[in-house]
Structures are given as C-alpha cells and as structure tokens.
Amino acid sequence: MTTQNREGLHRIRRALLSVSDKLGLIEFARALCRFQVELISTGGTAKALRKVGIPVRDVSEVTGVPEMLDGRVKTLHPHIHGGILAMRDDAKHMAALGEHGIEPIDMVVINLYPFEQTIARAGVTLEEAVEQIDIGGPAMIRSAAKNWKDVAVVVAPVMYTELIAEMNRNEGRLSLQTRKQLAWHAFARTSAYDQTIHSYLSAQQAEGMIESSIDKPVADDTEETPGPGGMPDALHLSLSKVTDLRYGENPHQLAALYESRDADAAGSVATAELISGKEMSFNNYLDADAAWQLVCDFGETACAIIKHTNPAGVALGASPEEAYRRALVTDPVSAFGGIVAFNRTVDEGAARVVTEIFTEVIIAPDYEKVAIEVLRAKKNLRILRTGGLQRSEDLHFDYDFKKVSGGVLMQTRDCHRLTRDALKVVTKRGPSDEELASLLFAWTVCKHTKSNAIVYARDGQTVGVGAGQMSRIDSVRIGAMRAQLPLKGSVLASDAFFPFRDGVDEAAKHGITATIQPGGSVRDAEVIAAADEHGLAMVFTNVRHFKH
C-alpha cells in the first residue's frame, strides 16, 4: 500500500540511520521521532541514540543475523535492501515483501566511513586505509537513490535542517522533487567517494614505478625515452566548488575555484584562509600558487616575488624580512603589483617591508598577530594563510592537469629536488663550494620559471631571470638585460640543455663563473668546450625542468 498522495508527498514511516559523522544526529533523530518514524540503526549510531534515550531497533534485530567479520557485514541483507528497493506501486514487489516478512524503509540516512580523512593523515598505512573503505554504506545509498520515487536518501548532516523544515510543513512528508534532488546528491557522493579510493590505490600502485624513474638521464634531443607508465586507464576528477570568482583570466570569462576532495587541510592554495583583503581573482590564485610552490621547494627561509607566474625575484635570508629585501632588489619594478610568498611565519619586520610597495597577495604558512595588523592596514592587500607547508613526499604521486581541445593531459607533479651528490662535473674546472650553493639555488628557481628558462643567481639571491622565450639564447640575453644587480661573479641555470654553444658564449660575456644544466644534447662536447675556453665550471643534472 502506497503512502504517496497526488502531489508526490510521501510519509516517512521507517528510517535507517548509520553515520560516521554524528554532527546533528541527535537533533535529527528526535525530529523524526516527533513524526512517529521508527528508527533502525547500526552499532555506533544506535549506541549514540540510546545514550540520549531515543528508541531505536538494531539492524541485527531486523535481519535476524548479527554483525560479523569485525563489522564488515551488517546491512547486506534482503531485509534491508528489499525494504529499500521495493517499488510501492508494484503489486508484485509489495507481495514479495509480505511473503518474506520484509518491512519497507522510507528513508536512509548514511554518511560513509571517513576514507578521505584517513588517507590525509601523515603515516597512514595501506591496511588502515583499506579498512576505511565503506561497502554497506554505498550499497544502501545507491539502493535508496535508485528508488528515489519511494525513498529519501540523506548523505550529509548539512541536509538535516531543510528536510525537517519540509516535514514540518507537510505533516511528516517529503515531496517527490526533494527525493529526486536527494538522489542526485547521493550519486554524486558515492561517485566522489569511489574516485577518491581509486586515486589513492592508483598512486599506491604507481609508487614503485614512479620512484624508479626519478634521476634517470634525460633523453637526447633526437631520441625520447619511454615514460614510467602506471597512469590510470580512466580519469574521474572529484572536485567540490569552494567559491565563484568574479571572472577568469579576463572579464568576459566565467570562473570558480574548486577543491580536490582529498586535498590536505593545510599547505595548499585552494584550502588557504583569506584572513584579510578583497576576494581572490582567478589570476591571483594562479600567481599565488606559483609563488607558494617555489618557496616550498626551499628548506631555508625563502621569499619569492611572482609576476604572471614567473619569478621577479627570489632570495634566501636569515629572516623573512631579509629574504624579502634581497628578493625585491632583483627587479623592484616588476615586483610592483606582484605576489609575495614566504615559507616561514611572517613577523612584523617582514610585514612592514612588504607594505612599502603595492602588493596584490601575500601568502605564508602563518603570521604573527602584530604582522596581521600591519598588513591589514594596507588597503586591498589579500592575506592568505595556508596553515602549513607543502610536503614534497606527498607530491610525488599528485597529478598535474593541462586542458587541451577535446581532452586533458595528465602527469605526475614535478617535485624533483636536486642534491650535490647527483651533480656531474663535466668541465676541467669544478665549481667551488660557494658556486655549488649558488648553482643549486639557481636550479631550484629555474624549475619554477617558464621555459625556455634562464636564471642568473649569486649567494642565495636571483640576479636576473629570462623566462618564456622561444630560443634559449634569447632567454640568456633577456635575463642579463633585466638584471639590476651586478652579473659578474654570478652563476647561471638553464632548465634544459644548451643546443648550441652560443648560450654559454653569451653568458660568459656577462661575467658568470659557473653554469648548471641537464646535459643530453648531441652537441654537449661543443658546449663543454665553450665553457672550458671561458674558464667556467659546468655541472650536469641529468634532469630537465620544462614548465609550460
């Protein structure tokens, strides 16, 4: 017998509740009881309801079978799924329920095992993650969502208030449109949940293959080496909208910010807290992320000033203030209206020097209280707090996406960090310790500069940056042309090999003493000979850092 009237309103007489997130559970259950709804529940949820005196039947009482296998099997039973899936206007379905003593279930309230929160914890094991893969929950959600004509499915505490309000208006009934909308949310939730599990297990599977590919020599320009493999056969992105943006890269483009459902709570731009200033724009987010990724690549106190995703100045310092001052003098003109990132808590001194010129965004792990007061006094300055740093060990199996017409390119993140031991000296003269330190610094900045990329640096400070040019020698020239500090005595980093010796010859004119590059060109011998002729030290990395 159906409980649905002409307007599609359906009375809720029996509800199954099984939730990991118990936020709002008691209030919602009490509201259901006011409508004489019979409650069925599982272990932890039933215990929480009984503790406050709410009457509830155990699922095991309904099924006649106790929970087993450490709770892995609870609700996978015809007395549960039959009660959910039976179509109330189908006489055969209802006769089958009567024959087997199955009672209809009109509402299913489920939120799933906390798989996303589990894998976000540092040091979580594969075994721990697997035990948080919910089986019965998604099965019940999908059953209820499939039968949305007769069953309401509730997958998040945020839905409780609105549902009770509707039941109050309709004497314990929910409309057909509401049930249909709930089903849409339910399938979105199970889809996202399964995709998070798939992405996590794919990363686990790929881990060995990806690690084995790191530090392999780069290919010669006439022959490409095969990739590491291990990428998923199908790609299903799980993203939730954080906020709409005023527009995209240009005012005529629509835009919004979306957050990965498995994003860490700290250390990312998408989850960063805007503690002051105007709302972030599309371009603000792009530039802030470029700056943030750069400073997170340094263990020492670092500051990066970014303009249009390229570094205008980067420096290390004994304090955030010193790092900023040294970064600023690289190119103070381009720094105007730029994005500033720190990998340390911003103190008052750093805050005061940042506010001396117009800055769009400042981003850092945290801020001293007085620093926030200083920064807030600067009109229109956006202050982003990430709450932590990006951890390189978590990024090896993160993915980078680039849209192309008709599809998407996907790759693992470029999180390679070079060490001294990995360098190969190829010239007659090897670099001094001071030159080595400058070369490693320049190489890190070069990794975050658009190709073709050239970075001049000295003593933990950028001297000149040549970015995004069609020929490498033009990047060498532009980096020198834009230098505000003396080039003599600096070192040079190139994100890819020198295809000809002309880049080295040009750099030598400006007084550099050493250079770092991947190597791998068919003309390596000519390039090395040019370095020897100029008395330069040259090291190969066997790693390339193209950035498009």
pLDDT, tens digit (0-9, with 9 covering 90-100), for 294-308: 999 999 999 999 999
Q: What does the chain come to in residues?
A: 548
Name residues whose C-beta falls within 8 Å of residue 459's C-beta, 6 or more positions apart in sequence. 434, 437, 438
For this structure, is 308 an active site residue?
A: yes
Q: Which pLDDT score is estimated for 228?
A: 47
| Domain at 10-198: CATH code | 3.40.50.1380
Q: At what angle do helices 502-509 and 524-533 cross, to 10 degrees?
A: 20
In this prediction, residues 503-521 reach a mean pLDDT of 96
For this structure, is 77 an active site residue?
A: no
Amino acid in position 315: A
Amino acid in position 371: A
Tens of pLDDT, residue by residue over 99-153, are 888 888 888 998 887 777 777 777 878 888 888 887 888 888 988 888 888 898 9
Tens of pLDDT, residue by residue over 17-64, are 888 888 888 998 988 988 888 898 887 888 888 888 888 888 777 766
Amino acid in position 496: A
β-pairing, 14-19 vs 107-111, is: parallel
Per-residue burial over 387-415, b if 16 or more Cβ lie within 10 Å, else e, is eebbeeeebbbebeeeeeeeeeeeebeeb
In this prediction, residues 65-73 reach a mean pLDDT of 67
Is 417-540 assigned to CATH 3.40.140.20? yes
Cis peptide bond upstream of 452, omega within 30: yes
Q: Are 515 and 536 in contact (CB under 8 A)?
A: yes
**Per-domain boundaries in the chain:** 10-198, 263-393, 417-540
Domains 10-198 and 417-540 share a fold: no
Residue 388, both tokens: 């932590």
**Among the listed ranges 35-44, 270-279, 454-463, 533-542, which one has the minimum average pLDDT value?**
35-44
| Domain at 263-393: CATH code | 3.40.140.20
Which one has a higher pLDDT value, 93 or 425?
A: 425
Identified catalytic residue from 93, 146, 198, 278: 146
Tens of pLDDT, residue by residue over 358-406, are 999 999 999 999 999 999 999 889 999 999 887 665 554 577 888 899 9
Alpha helix segments (H runs only) across 406-496: 433-447, 472-481
Q: What are the residues facing 425 on neighbouring strands?
A: 539
Q: How far apart are CA 312 and CA 300, in angstroms?
A: 19
Helix (H) / strand (E) containing 453: none
User: pTM of the full predicted structure?
Assistant: 0.69
Residue 91, both tokens: 């006489």
Q: What are the residues facing 539 on neighbouring strands?
A: 425, 516
Identified catalytic residue from 93, 180, 185, 308: 308
Q: What are the residues facing 302 on neighbouring strands?
A: 316
List phi, psi (to 5°) of 53: 85, 15
543, 279, 277, 296: which is closest to 395 by C-alpha? 296
Helix (H) / strand (E) containing 524: helix 524-533
